Amino acid sequence: MTRAPFGTRLTEAVAARGSLCVGIDPHPGLLDQWGLPRDASGLERFALTCVEAFAGDISVIKPQSAFFESYGSRGVAVLERVIAEVQSAGALVLLDVKRGDIGSTMAAYAQAYLADGSPLAADAVTVSPYLGFGSLDPAVEEAERTGRGLFVLALTSNPEGVGVQRAVGADGVSVAQSIVDQAAARNAAQRAATGAPLGSLGLVVGATVGSTGLDLSELGGPVLAPGLGAQGAGAAELAEVFGPTLPHVLPASARDVLRHGPDAAALRTAALRVRDELAAAAR
């Protein structure tokens, strides 16, 4: 199957449906809140209600893989169905798996989540570069080959990440900035080869990290910004963190929207309200 590069498809989706990315996070506490059992049947009802609510109007849907995997093979089967149904409804699937390994193991992860024909193949996945950016090469190459994307962890909001991500090397460049720079180089090459408006190699930068110290001006790709809503980030925080890069940012919200369930119409209304608020703030 020949598909346009992820950066092209993402640009078109955001133009048509807005920049909001909504997470499907079947956290046990949310299952309780929705009155659902903490088992695979409750997981399925939760996830498919989210698909019904979001997939027809939101540009990017982000299932959190861990909450599906925790139910074993039945949970993974639900995840496969979610991916297929979201894509059938016209939204892009960004599967939050944060995989990172080396050699043949990373290649196997790439086959699982990025290869044509895999039931878990999403439009993009999150990956971790902290075994070295080059360890991601099998995933980068598979994503480019199949028109899919990657979002590489760069600067996250969890306090445990500070010592690694903000550490400065002998060259005076922070670890996070080195990740930005390597992603930018890959995006520049891909855009030159394909003419895509946006590279397919994105970053993950938390919406609540404050002043990042990162230079994102040459990234040439999208940025996933988790932390919108319940974690405290709004339009002002997004502008502070991302500045001129904001047009390429996907603000992500999960629990702040999901708390409006289990009614699909209420969930849809909540998501559209956030989407429209972001659009208004960007004008």
Buried/exposed code over 184-223 (b: 16+ C-beta within 10 A; e: otherwise): bebbeebbeebebebbbbbbbbbbbbeebebebeebbbbb
How much is the CA Rg of the chain, to the nearest whole Å? 18
Would residue 62 show up in a list of annotated catalytic residues for this protein?
Answer: no
Q: Which helix (H) or strand (E) holds 12?
A: helix 6-17
Residue 260's alpha-carbon distances to 70, 186, 247, in angstroms, are 24, 40, 28
Q: Give me the catalytic one of 98, 166, 255, 259.
A: 98
Q: What are phi and psi of 220, to 5 degrees?
A: 65, 20
Asked if residue 57 lies in contact with residue 17, where contact means CB atoms within 8 angstroms, the answer is yes
What residues act catalytically?
98
